[in-house]
Amino acid sequence: MNSIEEFYSLDKKPDYAEAFLEDLSELNSRLNAFLNISKISGQNYPFSVKDNICVKNVETTASSKILRAYLPPFNATVVERMLSKNFDFLGKTNMDEFGFGTFGLNSDRVPRNPFNEDYVAGGSSSGAAIATAVLKYHIAIAESTGGSISAPSAFCGVVGFTPTYGAVSRHGLIDYANSLDKIGLMSRSAKDIRHVFDIIKGPDNYDSTCIDIGKRKIPESETQKNTIFLINQINGFLDEDVKSHFSGLVSKLENMGFAIKTIDFSLLDKAIPTYYIISMAEASTNLARYTGFKYGSKNNEFSHDYNSFFTESRSNFGTEAKRRIILGTFVRGASVKSRYYGKALKVRGLLISKMKEILKQGFILSPTMPILTPKIEDANSLTPMQNYGLDILTIPPNLSGFPHVSFPYDYDKGLPMGAQLISDHFNDYSLLDFVENWENAFEYKFKYNLGSV
Just list the catalytic residues.
50, 124, 148
CA dihedral 120, 123, 128, 132 (to 10 degrees): -50
How many residues bind ligand GLN, per CB under 6 A? 13
Residue 147 or residue 362: which is nearer to ligand GLN going by CB?
A: 147
Q: How far is the CB of 13 from ligand GLN (least distance, A)?
A: 34
Q: Per-residue contact track with ligand GLN, 70 to 109, x per CB under 6 A? A: -----------------------------xxxx-------
User: Binding residue for ligand GLN (CB under 6 A) from 14, 147, 157, 396?
Assistant: 147
Give the residue from 182, 395, 144 showing the smallest Cα distance to 274.
Answer: 395
Instruction: Decide: is 127 part of the binding site for ligand GLN (CB under 6 A).
Output: no
Q: How far is Cα 2 from Cα 154, in angstroms, rounded to an integer?
A: 21
Q: How far is Cα 258 from Cα 225, in angstroms, rounded to an integer?
A: 9
Instruction: Decide: is 148 part of the binding site for ligand GLN (CB under 6 A).
Output: yes
Q: What are phi and psi of 221, to 5 degrees?
A: -85, 160
Q: How far is the CB of 291 from ligand GLN (least distance, A)?
A: 23
DSSP state of 147: S
Instruction: Decide: is 162 part of the binding site for ligand GLN (CB under 6 A).
Output: no
Residue 2 or residue 178: which is nearer to ligand GLN going by CB?
A: 178
**CB distance 363 to 229 below 8 Å:** yes
Residue 398 or residue 423: which is nearer to ligand GLN going by CB?
A: 398
Instruction: Decide: is 172 part of the binding site for ligand GLN (CB under 6 A).
Output: no
Residue 28 or residue 126: which is nearer to ligand GLN going by CB?
A: 126
Q: How far is Cα 406 from Cα 199, in angstroms, rounded to an integer?
A: 21
Residue 280 or residue 364: which is nearer to ligand GLN going by CB?
A: 280
Length of the chain, please?
453
Residues 191, 172, 140: CA angle, nearest 5 degrees: 25
Instruction: Decide: is 114 part of the binding site for ligand GLN (CB under 6 A).
Output: no
Name residues contacting ligand GLN, limited to 273-332 (CB under 6 A). 279
Give the residue from 107, 191, 100 showing the smallest Cα distance to 147.
Answer: 100
Give the residue from 276, 311, 282, 274 showing the smallest Cα distance to 296.
Answer: 311
Q: How far is the CB of 330 from ligand GLN (least distance, A)?
A: 17
Residue 48 or residue 145: which is nearer to ligand GLN going by CB?
A: 145
User: Binding residue for ligand GLN (CB under 6 A) from 126, 144, 284, 400?
Assistant: 144
User: Binding residue for ligand GLN (CB under 6 A) from 75, 94, 126, 145?
Assistant: 145
Q: How far is Cα 44 from Cα 8, in angstroms, rounded to an integer?
A: 8
Q: How far is the CB of 153 from ligand GLN (least distance, A)?
A: 12
Q: How far is the CB of 145 from ligand GLN (least distance, A)?
A: 4
Name residues contacting ligand GLN, limited to 10-29 (CB under 6 A). none
Q: How far is Cα 118 from Cα 56, in angstroms, rounded to an integer?
A: 35
Q: How far is the CB of 408 from ligand GLN (least distance, A)?
A: 19
User: Binding residue for ligand GLN (CB under 6 A) from 146, 172, 328, 374?
Assistant: 146
Q: What are phi and psi of 283, to 5 degrees?
A: -60, -40
Residue 378 or residue 436: which is nearer to ligand GLN going by CB?
A: 378
Q: Per-residue contact track with ligand GLN, 366 to 405, x per CB under 6 A? A: -------------------------x--------------
In DSSP terms, which residues pair with 160 in a beta bridge? 186, 406
Q: What are phi and psi of 150, to 5 degrees?
A: -60, -50
HSE-up of 199 (CA within 13 Å, CB side)? Answer: 19
Residue range at the interface with ligand GLN (CB under 6 A); choices 128-136, 146-154, 345-353, 355-363: 146-154
- CA–CA distances in Å: residue 164 to residues 195, 209, 222: 17, 11, 21
Give the residue from 91, 123, 84 showing the smallest Cα distance to 105.
Answer: 123
**CB distance 182 to 144 below 8 Å:** yes
Binding site for ligand GLN (CB under 6 A): 99-102, 124, 144-148, 176, 279, 391
